[in-house]
Structure 1
Amino acid sequence: MSKTFLPFAENPLSTSGDYVFHLAPISQGLVASMSNNTVHLLAYDPLTFKTSPSLRVIEGAHSAGSSITGLKAVDANTVVSTSDAGEIRLWDFRVSNSNRPQAEFRVLPPQNFGKKTDKPMPILSVDALAQRIAVGTELVGVDAGVHIFDLRGGSSEPAVSYVDSHNDDVTEIKFHPTDANALLSGSTDGLVNVYNTTIADEDEAVYQTINHGASIHSTGFLAEKRLYALSHMETLSVYQVADPDANVPEPAPVEFGDVRESWGCEYVIDVCPGYVAVGSHPEEDHAAQNFSLIPFLNETPDLANRLVFQGGHGEEVVRSLYIDDRSQVVYSGGEDGIVRVWKAEGLDCSKSYFSATPWRTEDAMEVDNDDNAVDEKKEKKEKKDKKHKKDKKHKKEKRFKPY
């Protein structure tokens, strides 16, 4: 049986039409990015959240006129934010009242026909794990890439770059939850790539390419060898992760198709730990404007036992969620400029493969830095040229701009 919840508290971060873009948890509180180029630190405690403004606000987090495109926790104290101006900035919240980033990185486009430019590539997606930051870029000319920075090395240059595996904007980047060497990328070209980032050679590093057939909104790992792909047209599928050292056929994907009608929603927010988050904002006055968490265990949606968050963000799209099942609390950010807190009894992410707080598993993660690791891989397998044999993908006007 479904359960319904009302908001416990809310914090209007903007009253002038600005959106809440992203939410990222760190030890000091919940970090939120806004469309007005600000970053806010909010209290976790619902009572403090209800009565206090932002604990800290970073004004002008990125260059004037730019838009924040991503926000992720790097460790217990630090987040990384990215922008469409090509800025990758680290913010350490132990340093109080500072609008200066702890560090900044950027990705320059390759030299074309001898022409060199200092204008960085716009960044559209970001993820962080075990002191590594991965970003995906917008298509500029013929270039759209995946770049990985290693914070332990002290270099401002990417440690690894893959620039030939997508032929359109890279809209999603995800590390494997417990293996910082495994990485996913998704693009508006409809492809999801799986990389072994210990390998610099791109043909060898990309050991699986999945054609989802529609522009990728979100992708990630559901289990050690299972991943999902969600398109901007709300089509969802689950795929087997290939074993690069085994010559066995991949099983057929689990295809849910366009889930809007069958799951009773208008759009999919994202795949969260143990749940698929969906939203509804119909235009009819009498219609329910909610968002829901649909339990998603064993790759099966439990529609009858969804958790319904009544009222959601009104007529506005829910952009981001953070689920804290230990405190039985859900935080939501929407295009109304508000972050809401929901007390939700019955939250259970314990059966999920995800880690809701990434830094808490960091000590258990080991990144393979052995120079011999690459040599121990099996001999190079013959690969087709994926770059030039991709089918054209169908594109559609997005229900909302994802970046």
Structure 2
Amino acid sequence: ETARFGVAYTAGTGDRLAGWEVTRTNTWTFQVSGFSSEDPATNDATGCVTQTVYRGPSCREERTLTWDAQYRLTAAATNGAPAESYGYDPLGRRMWTEAGGVTNLHLYDGAHLLADLDATGGVVRSYVYGPEIDELVAMTIHTGDVPRTFYALRDHQNTVWAWVDESGNVAESYDYDAWGRVLGIYDGEGASMAQSAIGNRFLFQGREYSFATGLYHFRARWYDPVTGRWLSNDPIGIEGGLNQYVFCGNDPVNYSDPDGQNPIVVAAVLLLLAGAEDAVAPENEEQACNPAYAGGQGMATMFMSGAIMFGTGVAINGVTKVVGNMAAKRPVWKPGTHKSLQKLENQMQQRGWTSQQIDEAMSGGKQFTAPNKVNSGNTATRYVHPETGRSVVVDDVTSEVLHCYRPN
């Protein structure tokens, strides 16, 4: 046995095993079989990643990133050559992108990108969305003789898997790994392409992808699908978890993070909705006697089973879990860009507010339409805490806390 496996055994009383010793040293060498991040990233003093190095079997790629004072990515270079640069508005929305000497402008409707414009203001592409965040429905290209409209085929996370034209023919399709890395882009015939032929950049979780850098723009932060990590600290600090670079709680299959600050569970909600399909009116006497059909009890049973599977509702490391038998998620809010996080914390402390009380006001308090004096183009809601009677005003579009009031 020693010769075969490099292990020596010692027999004790009654031929029982008394000990063993490994006598052979084995060495394994592992080769990089794919494109990966092998070298440690370089960060600046604020925690933003400024340099990453990726290696493959026969290639090496170095990416350099430049950030502004508000932790927004302003430029990216690949192997020393400029790739893209960006500019932002006061709300943190990306307003222009420059690549190869060509500048595109971006027009917004709240948090959603409404259109891409050329440097002269001409419409290049326009977009239509459903009622939910990043629920992209259609894209129209305006640069040809006749506008062309394509319709998005999305999954439960709003990941775009394909575009079809007005006749229902597939124009373009995509393939990803679980972390959103683009594995393939294909035309309508299934032939592989280097990048989108129709100018689409909405891919994983419905967010904007840069073919020049391989990064995703998730509004408040940028995401690297190769490492599966954010490239800057969490804007809400350690409230989102001690590891401020974790993407979607390290579970991008079941969670999405539209604004880069608050992952929300998607699989649980879908399971509950799927269960609701069975909780319908009875079709016969047997079904009428079944609690899954009678009087909505099936819905209650379904929600309770969902609560058992996903646990009670608490925010763990900034990841929003399903709440009990209502399948509700923690209210989404963030500090307003018009004031610093420290200023908001001081104001909350002076006026008797806590983060939990803002959650409680938004979840169970009375709601009133409120003027939005910060973002005049957006609506706002005033939430009244059910116990303290204090009010907090939140932007309906950006989810920013605009003002915390004292009692009365």
TM-score normalised according to structure 1 size: 0.28
TM-score normalised according to structure 2 size: 0.28
- The one of the two structures with greater contact order (alpha-carbon pairs below 8 A, sep at least 6) is 1
Instruction: Find the structure with the greater CA-based Rg.
Output: 2
- Indicate the structure with greater helix content: 2
- Indicate the structure with greater strand content: 1
